Amino acid sequence: MLAHEAEIIITRDGKAVAKLVRVREPSSRPKRFDPRAHARWQDKVNRGGLVRLVDEFLTPDRAAR
């Protein structure tokens, strides 16, 4: 019946208690993670340089030991 109707309302004692609606499956699967494309994106964002934020904070801690 949902193939013909957009929605069906379920009632109990004259009050609407639920609504059945048609849910369509997504037309295609999401793209898989591509590590090479991600690496290209990181190079573009970082302008080709490496991010050394971790080293900036770890070096003083390591020197204190």
Residue 1 has pLDDT above 90, yes or no: no
Task: Let me know: does 6 contact 21? Beta carbons within 8 Å.
Answer: yes
Q: Which residues pair with 8 in a beta bridge?
A: 20
In this structure, is residue 23 part of a structural domain?
no
Label residue 8 left, alpha or beta by phi (over 0 means left) and psi (-120 to 50 means alpha).
beta
Tell me the pLDDT tens digit for each residue of 4-61.
778 888 999 999 999 988 887 778 888 899 999 998 888 888 876 666 777 778 888 8
Structurally, how many domains does the chain consist of? 1
Model's pTM, two decimal places?
0.34
Full domain range(s) for residue 47:
34-65
In this structure, is residue 3 part of a structural domain?
no
